[in-house]
Amino acid sequence: MSIPLTVELLPHENKAAGGLEAEPVSRRRWLQTGAAILSALTGVGYATSAGAATRVVALGEVDSKVRRDERWLQRELKKALKAELARIELPKAPERYVLSVNLTQLFTKQREGRDPKRGEAESTAVISAVLRKAKGGTLHAILRGKATAVDSHVPAREIELSALHGAVHSALRRVPDAISAG
């Protein structure tokens, strides 16, 4: 969430380019600007705390051991994680948790289908996740998810996305049980 802020120079910093004095900023305007910034930041603080109070699990670090030049993979991983966290029903808990996720494997191989003219692609994704307590960072659970997607006449990227979403679902479906157990 970004808030556009207008920054004005303080009266003692109010120099125009080239070192010449610019018109001084009135004390009233300076105070109004400061009050506006303070109220905007206070509103952000309340909005953040209200959202954090209802969320039992926050998404922490998201990384990938799968090294590719394409940025779509990291973006899709984060999008899949956020969607899955929003979808699953989390139990109420006195503590808050942070979920850190790593895509450990994503590979695609071509295989021959039943029809020799029609080849199939098979993608496998493996996710490793750590659920830790927000206060203190104590390890609470280690989760792993794996999924394989097979299809034909579909671009390999779509098959990889299917495998990625399946692995995310497989890993995160255990989060409610881990929270309830702890």
Q: What is the pLDDT of residues 101-139, one digit of tens each?
A: 999 999 988 876 555 556 688 999 999 999 999 998 889
In the predicted model, is pLDDT for residue 30 greater than 80? no
Q: Which of 142, 55, 60 is closest to 93 using CA atoms?
A: 55
Instruction: Tell me, yes or no, whether 161 and 80 share the same domain.
Output: yes
Instruction: Tell me if 62 sits within 8 A of 71, measured CB to CB.
Output: no
Instruction: Tell me, yes or no, whether 39 and 72 share the same domain.
Output: no
Pairing of strands 119-133, 97-112: antiparallel
Instruction: Tell me, yes or no, whether 28 and 73 share the same domain.
Output: no
**What is the number of domains present in the chain?**
2
Q: Output the pTM of the full model.
A: 0.66
Instruction: Tell me, yes or no, whether 140 and 75 share the same domain.
Output: yes
The CA distance from 85 to 4, in Å, is: 29
pLDDT of residue 35: 62
Instruction: Tell me, yes or no, whether 31 and 72 share the same domain.
Output: no
Q: Which domain holds residue 146?
A: 56-181
Sheet containing 57-64: give its strands across: 57-64, 97-112, 119-133, 139-152
